[in-house]
Chains A and B, each alone.
Chain A
Amino acid sequence: MGKQDRDFKAVGTRPLRPDGVEKVTGRAKFGADLSAPGMLVGRFLRSPHAHARIRSIDTSKAAALPGVKAVVTGDSFDITKVSSGNHDTLANVMARDKALYEGHAVAAIAAISVSIARKALKLIEVDYEVLPHVTDVDEAMAADAPLLHENMFTANLTPKPTKPSNIANFYEFGHGDIEAGFAKADVIIERSFKTAATHQGYIEPHACLANMTQDGQGELWCCTQGHFMVRNVCADLMGMEISKLRVTASEIGGGFGGKTTVFIDPVALMLSKLAGKPVKIVMSREEVFKASGPTSSTSMRIKIGATNDGRLTACEGEFNYQGGAYADSPVQFGAMSAFACYDLEHVKTVGYDVAANRPKNVAYRAPGAPMAAFAVESVMAEMADRLGLDQLEFRLKNAATEGTRSSYGPTYNSVGLTETIKAAQSHDHYSAPLGANQGRGIASGFWFNFGGQTAVSLNVQEDGTVNVTVGTPDIGGSRASMGLMVAEELGIEYDNIRCIIADTSSLGYNDVTDGSRTTFSSGLALINAAKDAKAKMCARAARIWDIPAEAVEWKDGCVQPAGANAGEFEPMSFAEIAANADNTGGPIAGHHEINASGAGVSFGTHMVDVEVDPDTGYVKILRYTVVQDAGKAVHPAYVEGQYQGGAVQGIGWALNEEYIYGEDGRLQNAGFLDYRMPVASDLPMIDTVIVEVPNPGHPYGVRGVGETSIVPPMAAIANAVSQAAGVRMTELPMSPPRVLKAMDDAKGG
């Protein structure tokens, strides 16, 4: 479906990843796997309170303990020299006047052993004035809510608020006349929804090894989705010149957006600077839950109007996202993406970004979109049922296509939503029979995808092999995709290409691996770098043949005379030209630097069958199918992996995962036993269908594939559970007690 005319040789095949053997033998070096001679261990002291003023911190006893080499508090950093855009990051890394959530760092120690560091932490005396706290999004928005920041006035509101609140930002998107649209509707459905905060749940805790030397230079090894970002932020917080800090990205044990900022890195650098020795910090799992960056809990209201024949007349949404201590919720993306699947004349969304006494939010895979899709696609399913229409037909009838003005502004070029819905219709899953207490749910979803700043390098070696250097950490097999695209462009074997992730001193700035941008942007840049190398190799052949450079051309991995007039020469292979590099002008390399645009939006449609246990409310996932547009699947096995992984994270979000807070504002389930992520025995195989509607913004048609897959699952599962349980589920997670209560309430009513 949607195939391109072009025949690919390398792209679309499934070779082994170049970094695979290191990873199956335990030799790959992740964040916590590196040590340095003379290394100290760093440990944090964290606030036990959800909200407290820090009256004073006395570290003198800790500093005096033998074996303690450095102590850091908020005062160790000179905020006056830090750019204003990083003030919240600095205050989050190390609390300054107030601790804003349980787990907020207040001090850190570097010592010669873990046991001494632990003992030292107990000697730090912090005088807290405990303040009233708020963790729920609706309560945080109330006029009388405890205030986190006295200087927080809602931005983008007219008139400008005169009183501070916990609402940091207001957003509004849409077009048309929403009231006129609802006036045309035969049926209007309006519902409210709530979702719990969830964590990305990467298995590797944050870890780093910092090494500052006495001349003010530094090196940092860390697990991150973006080491250039880490370098720039850390240099700013440390008051260093950017070029004096070299950051190397370790192998990264999952990120899903959660490793797109810094938590421990600046503190490790500061401890190392003060101690004059390398310092390693590894977060515990409890610290990851309490003090890294989960995503929002939300409260949403959706109103949809449609005609009896199934055409949407108006869509409206209000999205309130709890964004943690500094109001960093992705509500803007939620409000933008909510109705992005549909071709709408009248649409309006508003979003409120709300601060609460919880960890500072960081991105989580398609940030903001899954919650919004849960609400919107739940109402869409209810509307289809109300109108007596087939779920997929109803969506098809309203699907955004090329030329549709999106709900967030831009007009779509070539997009693949219709193709995913049609592929779902023809999949045997859609017509398979269901048993008692079972339900089938459908949902579609959207993600923007991203391009961004990218710099790559490609070096041709004298034996005709190629080294490729990118600056985007490989989280899920992207080195293999890079190799395939270079093999395609150069016409050489995949096995002759080796891709590495370079440190920050070796390439120009690269944006973080996020927004599903890596295969798109680094791939785009590498294709251009390969073209650059090919042009140089053509010139080398022309030089050998002593004919003008314009008189040669690249064909099938060889250089040949462009026509009969150019002269008669045997084509020179890639390897031959590479072997002659030293005689023809020296090393051959290709480069490309770009701020990539044209990432190409992505759509997916999911189908899921569930069975609800009427006695316990337990939901079993029976069958799951992901259909998604990849534009062009460079390495289909890893594309499938992204589809499957996103779907299963969505299953966890839908059924089990939630941040549970006590009355005291403390997190009650900061561990994998109680923060229940899906395990193998919870799940069936996850079926995938790769749709390929080429992205016009990429030479091979590639679209990002990493994020869209987590957008539809919660809605699809909620629709399935609602059908099976006979009652509309409007709150996540749909844990057994919640499903049982909904069924009991429905019976009672």
Chain B
Amino acid sequence: MTQTHVSTTINGDKVEYLCETDETLLDVLRDTLSLTGSKEGCGSGDCGACSVMLDGRLVCACLVLGVEAQDRKIETIEGMASGDELHPLQQKFLEHAALQCGICTPGFLVAAKALLDENPDPTETEVRYWLAGNLCRCTGYDKIIRAVMDAATEMRGQA
């Protein structure tokens, strides 16, 4: 199949790649660019494990085509920590034991960051509904919700 050339920005870096027209952005991230932090749990936008930011909007990378990333800005889990410092959400997920197996964790973190960027002081209900597009089968969500609320508190303190 003929491949298309795409120029885009991922985690602040200019990136170019070739992809088939039916390849998803998730395929490109994982298989072409080796950014395997975004996970494929369903391939149908139901589990949120491939959550990424596309021009500042939270999307499932499995529902975006690789060719659609032309001239866009993509942020993935790989860009969340800065240098040797974890993002407060990442740190709080560890402190609250908010992950068990960890497969859903990157998606939750990207989605939670999108929430806190938009709403730094969410209620528990707001957190629960915002994260309703991310499936976790291990934790029952309790510790994830607590970690996000705690991170929000800490980030407000820093601001």
Contact = CB atoms under 8 A, between A and B. Distances in A.
B143 interface: yes
A426 interface: no
Contact of A205 (B34, B40, B128, B141): B40
Nearest to B107: A203
Interface stretch (A209-217, A610-618, A681-689): A681-689
A24 B93 contact: yes
Contacts of A204: 39, 41, 101, 103
Contacts of B42: 285, 671-672
Interface stretch (A588-596, A644-652, A721-729): A644-652
A203 B94 contact: no
A436 interface: no
Nearest to A39: B31
Contacts of A28: 102
Interface in A454-479: 475-477
Pick the most buried of B36, B93, B141: most chain A CB atoms within 10 A of its CB: B141
Contact of B102 (A251, A648, A672): A251
A690 B19 CA distance: 52
Given A671-B42, A672-B44, A254 B138 contact: yes
B114 interface: no
A29 B36 contact: yes
A252 interface: yes
Given A21-B94, A24-B94, A252 B101 contact: yes
Contacts of A256: 137
Interface string B69-109: 00000001110110000100010011111011111111001
A645 B40 contact: no
Contacts of A475: 100-101, 138
Given A24-B86, A33-B36, A673 B44 contact: yes
A631 B146 CA distance: 26
Given A645-B137, A672-B42, A203 B37 contact: no
Nearest to A687: B142
A476 B42 CA distance: 21
A680 B99 contact: no
Contact of B143 (A115, A200, A641): A641
Contact of B100 (A14, A201, A476): A476
Contact of A476 (B80, B101, B105, B146): B101
Interface in B103-159: 103-106, 109, 125, 127-129, 131-146
A683 B128 contact: yes
A30 B30 CA distance: 12
B16 interface: no
Contacts of B127: 680
A24 B105 contact: yes
Interface string A1-43: 0000000000000101101110111111110110100000000
A644 B90 contact: no
Pick the most buried of A17, A30, A254, A649: most chain B CB atoms within 10 A of its CB: A254
The main secondary structure of chain A at its interface with chain B is loop
Interface in B39-62: 39-44, 46-47, 49
Interface string A648-669: 1100000000000000000000
A647 B141 CA distance: 11
A17 B94 CA distance: 7
A645 B140 contact: yes
A227 to B, nearest CB: 16
A253 B101 contact: yes
Contacts of A35: 31, 34
B22 interface: yes
B140 A644 contact: yes
Pick the most buried of B78, B93, B96, B135: most chain A CB atoms within 10 A of its CB: B135
A23 B105 contact: yes
B103 A30 contact: yes
Given A26-B78, A203-B49, A476-B100, A683 B140 contact: yes
A680 B97 contact: no
B140 A671 contact: no
A637 B143 CA distance: 9
A425 B77 CA distance: 45
Contacts of A680: 127-129, 131-132, 134, 136, 141, 144-145
A564 interface: no
A285 B41 contact: yes
Interface size on B, as a range, is 35 or more
A634 B84 CA distance: 30
A635 B137 CA distance: 20
Pick the most buried of B22, B77, B103, B146: most chain A CB atoms within 10 A of its CB: B103
A262 to B, nearest CB: 19
A284 interface: yes
B77 A26 contact: yes
Interface size on A, as a range, is 35 or more
B43 A638 contact: no
A593 to B, nearest CB: 27
Contacts of B93: 20, 24
B130 to A, nearest CB: 8
A284 B105 contact: no
A432 interface: no
Nearest to B1: A115
B140 A477 contact: no
Nearest to A683: B141
Contacts of B136: 203, 680
Nearest to A285: B42
Contacts of A17: 94, 97
B20 interface: yes
A248 to B, nearest CB: 16
A26 B143 contact: no
Contacts of B140: 641, 644-649, 678, 683, 686
Nearest to B96: A637
Nearest to B131: A680
A641 B138 contact: yes
Contact of A681 (B37, B100, B104, B132): B132
B93 to A, nearest CB: 5
A205 B43 CA distance: 11
Contacts of A476: 100-101, 138
A202 interface: yes
Contacts of A683: 128, 140-142
Pick the most buried of B1, B31, B138: most chain A CB atoms within 10 A of its CB: B138
A686 B97 CA distance: 14
A653 to B, nearest CB: 12
B137 A686 contact: no
Given A115-B20, A641-B97, A254 B141 contact: no
B16 to A, nearest CB: 20
A45 interface: no
A638 B100 contact: yes
A686 B142 contact: yes
A677 interface: yes
Nearest to B148: A680
Nearest to B133: A679
Nearest to B81: A25
Contact of A23 (B47, B81, B102, B146): B102
Given A202-B137, A647-B140, A24 B76 contact: no
A252 B102 CA distance: 8
Interface of B: 1, 20, 22, 30-31, 34-44, 46-47, 49, 76-78, 80-81, 86, 90, 93-97, 99-106, 109, 125, 127-129, 131-146
6 contacts: A26-B77, A203-B136, A254-B103, A475-B101, A645-B139, A683-B140
Interface of A: 14, 16-17, 19-21, 23-30, 32-33, 35, 113, 115, 200-205, 251-256, 282, 284-285, 475-477, 635, 637-638, 640-641, 644-649, 671-673, 677-683, 685-686
A-B pairs, 3 with minimum CB distance:
A26-B37, A253-B103, A648-B140
Given A113-B1, A680-B129, A683-B141, 18 more contacts: A26-B76, A32-B39, A200-B137, A203-B137, A204-B103, A253-B101, A476-B100, A637-B96, A641-B140, A645-B137, A672-B41, A673-B44, A677-B137, A679-B134, A680-B127, A680-B131, A683-B128, A685-B146
